[in-house]
Amino acid sequence: MPEFTMLIRTAELAAMLSDEHCRVLDCRFHLSDPARGYEEYRTGHIPGAMYVDLDRDLAGPVTAGSGRHPLPDSLAFAALLGHRGIGHGTQVVVYDGGSGAIAARAWWMLRWLGHDRVALLDGGFARWLADARPVETGAARACGVRRFVPAEQTDRITTTAEIATAVDGGGELCLVDARDEARFRGDVEPIDPVAGHIPGARNFPLGRSLSADACWKSPGTLARAWRTVLGDRPGGPWIAMCGSGVTACHLVLSAQLAGYGEPTLYVGSWSEWIRDPARAVATGP
């Protein structure tokens, strides 16, 4: 079976669905209606796909100092993956409704635990339906439990303390925010109690990576878009962030498709940054 580590097309996934070494994770989720993703899963999903919930499975408990979606305990997440039939050598495919905004979090988290053989379905479930692929309904089928041994990659993460040190000390900080322009500027803030962005951050809304049909743009097109934000520094260090460390994972994949080096992820992101009112906030472009 070929190995996929970034994107996979519906035809490629359809060809390997029956392989026992392939596992599919359905990551559909709606912030405004947390139960809706699982309802959609039961209504119809890719055959054999197992559901994972953003709040329950892809995030840990929120604390007084954390953002809205802190990482779960690595051993707990590893156990969940094992119960989804994922072990060493498993080809994992993740998808959501279409954009990859949620599925990219699952993609990044498997890599965080040392499992690079994971790919995001280009166009998600919407593309799967548009291509007239088979659909299964109801609850997940039983699958064999495998042992998933995590190898936590702490160097993929940047902390609030590290960012605060750079901001307070006037150091160089290449921080790219995935939120849409209006939220980044501070014109509106529908989710968090404070509007704006971290001083010095740059903006690259995740929608810039996608075509009108929610499929990913070509690597060349992505490279041109990223050049306006990162310049000609394909290997330079940088950090991806968003509102709560979820859609920032979309930037991690996008930039790598464009040929840029992998950033670290600011897991706490904006919702953690503003927990302390003493931290600096900027508004405008």
Residue positions annotated with a catalytic role: 242
Angle at alpha carbon of residue 181, lines to 264 and 190, rounded to 5°: 95
Q: What is the pTM of this model?
A: 0.97
pLDDT at 227: 95
Using the Cα atoms of residue 187, residue 189, residue 192 and residue 197 in order, give the sign of their dihedral: negative
Q: What integer pLDDT is reported at residue 159 of this predicted model?
A: 97
Position 232 scores a pLDDT of 80
What pLDDT sits at residue 236?
Answer: 78
What's the pLDDT score for residue 1? 78
> Considering only CA atoms, which of 53, 42, 101 is closest in space to residue 247?
101
pLDDT at 276: 97
Which among 165, 179, 177, 224 is positioned nearest to 202, based on CA atoms? 177
Write down the pLDDT at residue 169. 87
Instruction: For the chain, 285 residues long, give each residue's pLDDT as a single digit of tens.
Output: 789 999 999 999 999 999 999 999 999 999 999 999 999 999 999 999 999 999 999 999 999 999 999 999 999 999 999 999 999 999 999 999 999 999 999 999 999 999 999 999 999 999 999 999 999 999 988 888 999 999 999 999 999 999 999 999 877 789 999 999 999 999 999 999 999 999 999 999 999 999 999 999 999 999 999 999 998 866 779 999 999 999 999 999 999 999 999 999 999 999 999 999 999 999 999
Region class of 246: left (phi > 0), else alpha (psi between -120 and 50), else beta? alpha
Distance CA 154, CA 254 (A): 21
Residue 146 burial class via C-beta count within 10 angstroms: exposed 0-12, middle 13-18, buried 19 and up: middle
